[in-house]
Structures are given as structure tokens and as C-alpha cells.
Structure 1
Amino acid sequence: MSGIVESAGTEAARRLPDGQGRAGLPEGQAEQERTVRHTLMDVALEVFTERGYTDAGLTEIAARSGIPAGTLFQHYGGKRGLYLALWEEFREEQEHRTAATLTAERSRGVNDPVALFVAGARAYLEGAWDNRRLARLLAEDDGPAGFDALRRQWDRAWVRRNARLLEVDERRRAGRVRVSVLTTVIGGAARELGDCGDGTEAREIVDEVCGILVHLTTPPG
């Protein structure tokens, strides 16, 4: 899953040893560059949310952030790079959240595949609510060229991961379809969370969806 998109200015800085930043810069300068990147991404999210990706302008992003357009191009290569960096950040946060939840559940002795699957789904949905502005943006059809194909690729990887978690035989079409349906339910609920009025309504939806997942994963008879 990681590696589907490698957005400029995100992966390199995360993987450098302590004391060095991008391209071996001193830590102080590297920290300044990280701040610049985070500022650009925060402002890009605001502008994309307000205008949509197509109508968003790099000039406005640069002006709001107070960072020259040339610096924006240096870190992200343009508007598409900024959008994909936001997507990568969302994916990584969601993957980290769900993985941490599964690790915690297993450490408590939980080993039932359905219980683990539902716990992971709850963590994913709670993350979608916490990051609802970004989740809502990424669910829209207005994205850069080629983004739909990347999203479908990630969706297929997500289905495969869920199949392994549920211990479903992926060689059987019925098993693949069942996991695909369950994954679609989670994705649809995550989009609905973006329109919730408050945390109480969001929690009700998360609880409802988790109940549906339990029902759908219960063997017939």
C-alpha cells in the first residue's frame, strides 16, 4: 500500500536519520523545511475544500501561506503534488491508527477475526471523523488526472488486507465478494461521516455501522 504514491517532499524527510533533514541538511534547516511543507499542505486543504481541486489556484495557495510559489513547486511540483501529498498523509494516518488498534486488541488476547475486523473498522471510521475535512475532499470526484486509478488501486489493496484479517480464502469468488461488500460499507460510512453535524451524530453512525458489520460477518444459520 505504501508506495502507491510517492509525493514530493513527504517520504524523504521521514526516512532520514536523526540530525539530518532532506538532502542531508542540518536539523534546524530541515525543521524549517518541514514547517514550510506542513504550512503549504494546511493551506492547500483550505483552498481545495473551498474551491474544489479544479478551481483551486496555486497563486492563492502561495498568497495565503505567505510562501513563494517557487518554494511550493520545489517541494510539491505543483497542485497535483500537493493533492497527492494530502492523500498520502490521510492514508498513512488511517493505516497507523488501525494498525495500532489491532495491536492493542491482540495484546488484550483478542484473536477472533470478526472482532478484530470490527475494531479496525471502528478505528478507521473514527479517523475519518477526526480528519473529516480531508476525508470529504478525497471522496469527491474532483481530483487530479489519474487519481481515480490510484484510489481504485488502494481500494483493492484494502480489500485484500481485510480478507487476510477475516481469514477469508481469496481464491473463492464468494469470499472476495463478501469482503468487498464489507469494505464498501466502511468506505460509504466514512463519506457520510463528513456530513455529520457533531460528534454525537458521528458516534451514532460509527456504532450503527459496526453493528451492521457484525451482522454481515455472522455465518448464516
Structure 2
Amino acid sequence: MSGIVETTGTQTPRQHPDGQAKSRLPEVDAERDGSVRHALLSAALEVFTERGYTEAGLNEIATRSHIPLGSLFQHYGGKRGLYLALWEEFREEQERRTAATLAAERDRGVDDPIALFVAGARAYLEGAWDNRRLAMLLVEDDGPAGFDALRRQWDRAWVQRNARLLEVDEKLRVGRVRVRVLTTVIGGAARELGDCADEREAREIVDEVCGILIHLSAPAG
């Protein structure tokens, strides 16, 4: 999963799963296009969750979305494109959530690296609970070919961002290991949230994990 991030203040055109930038559409067409994409992604999430990625059928996704199969291929190219678009949607929402939290904390005068890191982690975990169906789907082993490599790449970037936030020198092994452990704790907790019975239990886990992160974040000595 993607993790605690800070925006740079610049925006690049959103990319299709095949790497091509979206062209600008007239406002009415863009609204219609957005509705079609939302319907397709919602249906894909339902079918992927119920049947797994491998067993999911494009005809069923098209039927549930009430969108013609041809439009599905036009927008996403197939199952892999749908899956990667769901991942991008989750990742972008998590990034917006954590970046907004960090900005709000800094506006309040918080500048302690550990306090900022834990605040960002809390926002990320709360997002994982709010979007738990999608979060759980994306950590399963049943995904499109090549997705594990992409996930590992994003995870490495997550560790690097956390190191910058904690002001840890990744060139030092002890600092690098500490950040990797902290990142693993957050990722593992996000998976546990998917099995929570209700919001009360989820909040207990988030509070517990944040306490663990505070303890583990303190430099040795």
C-alpha cells in the first residue's frame, strides 16, 4: 500500500492504467465519463471482492454496472485496468487524507517528527478502515500479473517517505531498519482493520497501534 505522504504543491495529469494521460473533455462529457467510470469501478470492486480477481468475469462486471462491455474495454482495457484503477483510487485517497492531516498539524504548530509521523499513520489507518473492502482486496495475493512487483515498488517509496518525515538517515542501517519496522507495523495493522467487527473495535486497534508507533519511533538511547 501507499503510505504517509506529503504533496509537492504541483499536479500532473491523471494517468490511465496504461500510462496515457487523460485528455480534457467538455464539462458535460467529462461528467458522463466520470459516471461511467464510477459505475464500472463500483461493480468491479463488488465482483472482485466476491469472486477474487482470477475468477471475476468481465461480463458480470458490465452487467452489474449497467455499462456495455465495449465501454468497459474502452475505459479500462479489461480486468487488469480495472484493478489498477481501483488501486490508484485507494492510493490517491490515502495520500490526500494523510497530506491534509500533516498540513493541519503543521498549521497548529506541530513540528515534532514523531508526532507528525503518528498523526499521519492514524489518518492512513482510519482511511484503511473507511475503505476496508478495497483495502482488503488490494492486499490479497490474487491480483493481476505483475502487480506484486508494483506493490513492492510503492512500498519502497512509502518507506522512503516515512524516513523523510521522521528525519531518519536511510544511509545508516539502524535508521533504515527502524523505518522499515514502523512501516510494516502500519501495513499489518491496516490488514487487521479489515476483520474488525465494528467501528469501536477498529478505533481501539488504531489507538493501540499509534501507541506502539510512538514507542518504536523514539531513537535508541
Q: Report the TM-score when normalising by structure 1.
A: 0.91
Partner of 1:137: 137
Tell whether the 8 Å contact from 1:49 to 1:137 is kept in structure 2 after alignment. Answer: yes
Partner of 2:7: none
Partner of 1:103: 103
Q: Is the partner of 2:138 in helix, strand or coil?
A: helix
The structure, 1 or 2, with the larger RCO (C-alpha pairs under 8 Å, 6+ apart) is 2
Flag structure 2 segments of 5+ consecutive residues without an equivalent: 3-10
After superposition, residues 1-221 of structure 1 pair within 5 angstroms as 6-8=15-17, 12-13=21-22, 23-221=23-221
Deviations 1:156-183 (A, max 9, x none): 0000000000000111111111100000
Partner of 1:16: none
Flag structure 1 segments of 5+ consecutive residues without an equivalent: 14-22
Tell whether the 8 Å contact from 2:48 to 2:137 is kept in structure 1 after alignment. Answer: yes
Residues in 2 aligned to 1:64 and 1:160: alpha-carbon distance in whole angstroms:
40
Residues in 2 aligned to 1:167 and 1:24: alpha-carbon distance in whole angstroms:
39
The one-letter code sitting in structure 2 at the alignment partner of 1:128 is: A
Tell whether the 8 Å contact from 2:18 to 2:81 is kept in structure 1 after alignment. Answer: no
Q: Is the partner of 2:53 in helix, strand or coil?
A: coil
Tell whether the 8 Å contact from 2:15 to 2:21 is kept in structure 1 after alignment. Answer: no
Deviations 1:44-77 (A, max 9, x none): 0000000000000000000111111110000000
Tell whether the 8 Å contact from 1:10 to 1:85 is kept in structure 2 after alignment. Answer: no
Tell whether the 8 Å contact from 1:9 to 1:75 is kept in structure 2 after alignment. Answer: no
Identity %: 77
Q: Is the partner of 2:70 in helix, strand or coil?
A: helix
Tell whether the 8 Å contact from 1:9 to 1:37 is kept in structure 2 after alignment. Answer: no
Residues in 1 aligned to 2:169 and 2:58: alpha-carbon distance in whole angstroms:
47
Residue 9 and residue 36 in structure 1: after superposition, are their counterparts in 2 closer, same or farther (change >3 A)?
farther
Residues in 2 aligned to 1:152 and 1:113: alpha-carbon distance in whole angstroms:
25
Q: Report the TM-score when normalising by structure 2.
A: 0.91
Residues in 2 aligned to 1:52 and 1:79: alpha-carbon distance in whole angstroms:
11
Residues in 2 aligned to 1:8 and 1:173: alpha-carbon distance in whole angstroms:
35
Residues in 2 aligned to 1:32 and 1:202: alpha-carbon distance in whole angstroms:
36
Deviations 1:124-149 (A, max 9, x none): 00000000000000010000000000
Residues in 1 aligned to 2:96 and 2:190: alpha-carbon distance in whole angstroms:
17
Residues in 1 aligned to 2:172 and 2:58: alpha-carbon distance in whole angstroms:
48
The one-letter code sitting in structure 2 at the alignment partner of 1:180 is: R
The one-letter code sitting in structure 1 at the alignment partner of 2:16 is: S
For these two proteins, the number of residue pairs brought into alignment is 211
Partner of 1:20: none
Q: Is the partner of 1:53 in helix, strand or coil?
A: helix
Report the Cα offset of residue 7 of structure 1: 3.2
Residues in 1 aligned to 2:205 and 2:27: alpha-carbon distance in whole angstroms:
44
Residues in 2 aligned to 1:25 and 1:95: alpha-carbon distance in whole angstroms:
25
Tell whether the 8 Å contact from 1:98 to 1:120 is kept in structure 2 after alignment. Answer: yes
The one-letter code sitting in structure 2 at the alignment partner of 1:95 is: E
Residues in 1 aligned to 2:86 and 2:63: alpha-carbon distance in whole angstroms:
19
Partner of 2:6: none
Residue 113 and residue 11 in structure 1: after superposition, are their counterparts in 2 closer, same or farther (change >3 A)?
farther
